Amino acid sequence: MRQLPERMQETLYDDRFIPAETIKLRKKYRAFAEKELFPRAYEIGQKREANENFPRDLFKSMAKKGFFKVAYSKKDGGTGLKYPACASAVLAEEMAYISASFAGSVNAHFLLAGRSLSFGSAFIKKKYLKPLLDSELIGSFAMTEPQSGSDVRTESLITKARKKGGNYVVSGQKRYITNAGVSDFIATLVSLNGKSCMLVIDTKSKGCTTSEPDKKLGNRGELTYDIYFDNVSVPKENLIGKEGDGLRICVAALMYGRTSIGSSGVGMAQSAFDETVAFLKEREAFGQKISRFQHWQFLLAERAVEIENARNLYIKSALAIDNGNPFPVVESSGAKFYGSKLSVDMARDAVQAHGGLGLMVELAHDESTYKVEEIYRDSKVGEIYEGSNEIHKMVIAREIFGK
Ligand SMILES: Cc1cc2nc3c(=O)[nH]c(=O)nc-3n(C[C@H](O)[C@H](O)[C@H](O)COP(=O)(O)OP(=O)(O)OC[C@H]3O[C@@H](n4cnc5c(N)ncnc54)[C@H](O)[C@@H]3O)c2cc1C
């Protein structure tokens, strides 16, 4: 089995901005990630997408350790931490360090679906949120549609609800929905006569079907699906919040989600960085270790500072949420686009630094396996999902120049 490289975070990063409460949790996350996730990570990252690959047992194990509860108040069945957003974001970094696919799947479950449910009634929390935190139910979150992902204005949605006898009837289609085919319910954004609404839809409802999982460049362990709604009857109790609240609920859940895409980017960048440092310290060319060449020294010095920046950015975004600002737009968009871009840049450098081994999944000669090609493939989606990086720059630009 592959060995984990030395963690350079220990040497290079000073934890002073991270709450002590979060640092304590990070130890537990890391122990889980190294002991339980790492032995499975190669398989999760490499196997072609299939429903049976969904690592339900790992979700169960995380739930048993209370990890999904860190993002929730005591009132909602959570841990009641002082810094729930920090705890969630660091969880994503630690998982992504070992397996970005797994981190994506976990984020969709406990942050996107879960945080949406936290705006729901006592009934919704009891029926869906509590079992989600225990991983008795798996959740998914559906905004994106075949014709549009960036433009989720209510008038652009093709997934529509109408009222029938006090309940809702939903028809339409969603695309790229993480976990959908293995989930028990979908927190779904719909248009109800031009008003955005968030409905919890049981995947077993009559008329609700999902495609096979998509086959993707990367994040193969994060299963995505189309969802088809054909006159699906949804009880009125399954409306989250009020009619017209849909987009606001999505954006609030996405504040947690985006911060965690930033932190997942940091996890991937840190992993690619650590793999590269370990490799360059060993590999020789022209009679010396490649780490002696100034080209790589300068490049890694720059990346070390960028990782420091990216980690501080996501922590700042999380702290803003934890200090009572539910919509820290500049911080969360900045953390998301900076962290995700850095992971792509660092992964490309890591592949280059590894030479031919940078392309290897498994070397036929001795069946040794390698990590950096997986990070190269997995990092790309961070620049696309939960609002593409262009959209995040637009959001920040609005704060500069106005709408
Ligand atoms: C692995 C994966 C998992 C996903 N999981 C989920 C999920 O669980 N739930 C969910 O709802 N969605 C999910 N998505 C969807 C994801 O959020 C969307 O793909 C993303 O929002 C982009 O939308 P799009 O693909 O429709 O691209 P489009 O909106 O069609 O955009 C195409 C390109 O045009 C650019 N663009 C669009 N508008 C502008 C503009 N005004 N100015 C400049 N450039 C612009 C975009 O940045 C992008 O580069 C997932 C996607 C993937 C790949």
Q: What is the pLDDT along the chain (403 residues), one digit of tens a residue?
A: 789 999 999 999 999 999 999 999 999 999 999 999 999 999 999 999 999 999 999 999 999 999 999 999 999 999 999 999 999 999 999 999 999 999 999 999 999 999 999 999 999 999 999 999 999 999 999 999 999 999 999 999 999 999 999 999 999 999 999 999 999 999 999 999 999 999 999 999 999 999 999 999 999 999 999 999 999 999 999 999 999 999 999 999 999 999 999 999 999 999 999 999 999 999 999 999 999 999 999 999 999 999 999 999 999 999 999 999 999 999 999 999 999 999 999 999 999 999 999 999 999 999 999 999 999 999 999 999 999 999 999 999 999 999 8
| Token pair of 87 as six digits | 């705890």
Q: Is 145 in the pocket of ligand 1 (CB under 6 A)?
A: no
Query: Helix 38-46 to helix 100-107 angle, to the nearest 10 degrees?
Result: 90
Q: Is 395 in the pocket of ligand 1 (CB under 6 A)?
A: no
Hey, which bits of 55-211 come out as E strands? 139-142, 160-164, 167-178, 185-192, 195-202, 208-210
Q: Is 144 in the pocket of ligand 1 (CB under 6 A)?
A: yes
Rounded-to-integer distance, Cα 318 and Cα 301, Å: 26
* Farthest-apart Cα atoms in the chain, separation: 80
Instruction: Provide the pLDDT for residue 152.
Output: 94
Rounded-to-integer distance, Cα 40 and Cα 37, Å: 5
Going from the Cα of 132 to the center of ligand 1, the distance in angstroms, rounded, reads 26
Contacts of 358 (CB under 8 A, 6+ apart): 350, 351, 352, 370, 372, 373, 376
Residue closest by Cα to atom 27 of ligand 1 = 149
Helix or strand run (H / E) with residue 338: helix 329-353
| Token pair of 208 as six digits | 């609700």
In ligand 1, the atom with minimum distance to the C-alpha of 390 is 47
Hey, which bits of 235-345 come out as E strands? 239-240, 284-285, 288-289
Instruction: Provide the pLDDT for residue 194.
Output: 96
Q: Is 108 in the pocket of ligand 1 (CB under 6 A)?
A: yes
Q: Is 196 in the pocket of ligand 1 (CB under 6 A)?
A: no
In ligand 1, the atom with minimum distance to the C-alpha of 112 is 8
Return the sign of the alpha-carbon dihedral for residues 160, 164, 168, 170: negative
Provide the β-strand partners of residue 168.
163, 234
Q: Which of 401, 385, 285, 303 is nearest to 340 (CA)?
A: 385
Domains of the chain, earliest start first? 9-138 (1.10.540.10), 140-245 (2.40.110.10), 247-401 (1.20.140.10)
Query: Helix 100-107 to helix 246-282 angle, to the nearest 10 degrees?
Result: 160
Going from the Cα of 317 to the center of ligand 1, the distance in angstroms, rounded, reads 22
Q: Is 362 a catalytic residue?
A: no
Going from the Cα of 148 to the center of ligand 1, the distance in angstroms, rounded, reads 7
Going from the Cα of 387 to the center of ligand 1, the distance in angstroms, rounded, reads 6
User: Residue with structure tokens 């992504």?
Assistant: 96
Read off the DSSP letter of residue 43. H
Provide the β-strand partners of residue 186.
140, 201
Cα angle, residue 202 at apex, residues 201 and 204 outer, rounded to 5°: 135
Instruction: Provide the pLDDT for residue 403.
Output: 84
Instruction: Provide the pLDDT for residue 2.
Output: 83
- For residue range 305-341, what is the model confidence (pLDDT) as tens digits? 999 999 999 999 999 999 999 999 999 999 999 999 9
Indicate which residue of 6, 386, 390, 399 is catalytic. 386
Rounded-to-integer distance, Cα 128 and Cα 22, Å: 26
End-to-end CA distance of the chain: 52
Query: Three-state SS for 176?
Result: strand
Rounded-to-integer distance, Cα 104 and Cα 113, Å: 12
Going from the Cα of 391 to the center of ligand 1, the distance in angstroms, rounded, reads 9
| Token pair of 350 as six digits | 């890591």
Instruction: Provide the pLDDT for residue 35.
Output: 98
Contacts of 273 (CB under 8 A, 6+ apart): 8, 300, 303, 304, 307, 346, 350
Rounded-to-integer distance, Cα 269 and Cα 340, Å: 9
Question: What type of residue sits at position 312?
Answer: N
| Token pair of 206 as six digits | 């009559």
Mean pLDDT of the chain: 97
Cα angle, residue 129 at apex, residues 126 and 132 outer, rounded to 5°: 125
CA-only gyration radius of the chain, Å:
21
